[in-house]
Amino acid sequence: MVEHVHDRVCEARTIGAVVVATDDERVARAVSDFGGTAVMTRADHETGTDRLAEVAAELTGQLVVNVQGDEPLISPDAIDACVKLLLDHPEDVMGTLRRRTSDASDLVSPGVVKLVTDGDGYALYFSRTAIPYVRPGQEPPVFWRHLGLYVYRRSFLLTLARLPSTPAERSEGLEQLRALGHGYRIRTVETTADTVGVDTPEDLERVRRLLEAGART
């Protein structure tokens, strides 16, 4: 699975180097076997953001892209769109992706993160529950599904990793809420790309079928 993610990221035009950050020697060996670059990190990180920051501290690039290793169908075009978001908006420190959804199963699944934004596309909140609430008789708004890809300014990522977690972050289990909770803004961009995160054996089988069918999200 890591190799599929690695290959997708390498296809993105805006990516200069791809590094797999892990605390598992088995993952590091697998990455080395397919010709990738793995960096071993400490094993005591509570979040992926903190692990990424450890690696980013030794990098020289100004932008750092966080692609999770359980996203084998991540779209290279979506990665490029998110990077371009921060290239086009130098005032922003963090960017991510949102996708329209009207799928009822998305809205009720805690495994699918939802978000609401302001009129300029900045995230107001992320949640595992359906947001916003729609009162009876009111026209439903556009519902947004979050795609778990982030682009950070390296300096901000290092700052973010030093900040304490927030009650909302711990309650929802969503690292991006740490940034919002400390007053930082997260710019989002709409994408039509989709991805399937592998969180369960059923997800894994679904991804295998899609890969066998030559899926390109």
pLDDT in tens, 192-208: 987 665 555 565 565 55
Q: Apex CA 93: angle with CA 90 and CA 97, to 5°?
A: 100
Task: Judge whether 166 and 178 are in contact, CB under 8 Å.
Answer: yes
Query: Is residue 59 domain-resident?
Result: yes
Q: Say which CATH number the domain at 185 has.
A: 3.90.550.10
Task: Provide the 8-state DSSP code for 122.
Answer: B
What average pLDDT does range 24-39 have in this prediction? 94
Q: Is the pLDDT of residue 18 over 60?
A: yes
Q: How far apart are CA 73 and CA 196, in angstroms?
A: 6
| Enclosing H/E stretch for 6 | helix 2-11
Please report, rounded to a whole number, the percentage of residues in the chain having pLDDT higher than 90.
76
Query: Is residue 20 domain-resident?
Result: yes
Structural domain including 52 reads 2-212
Query: Is residue 45 domain-resident?
Result: yes
Query: Is residue 64 domain-resident?
Result: yes
Q: Is the pLDDT of residue 183 over 80?
A: yes
pLDDT in tens, 139-173: 999 999 999 899 999 999 999 999 999 999 999 99
Q: Is the pLDDT of residue 47 over 60?
A: yes
Question: Domain tally for the chain?
Answer: 1
Task: Judge whether 188 and 118 are in contact, CB under 8 Å.
Answer: no
pTM given for the model:
0.87
Query: Is residue 217 domain-resident?
Result: no
User: What pLDDT is recorded for position 212?
Assistant: 60
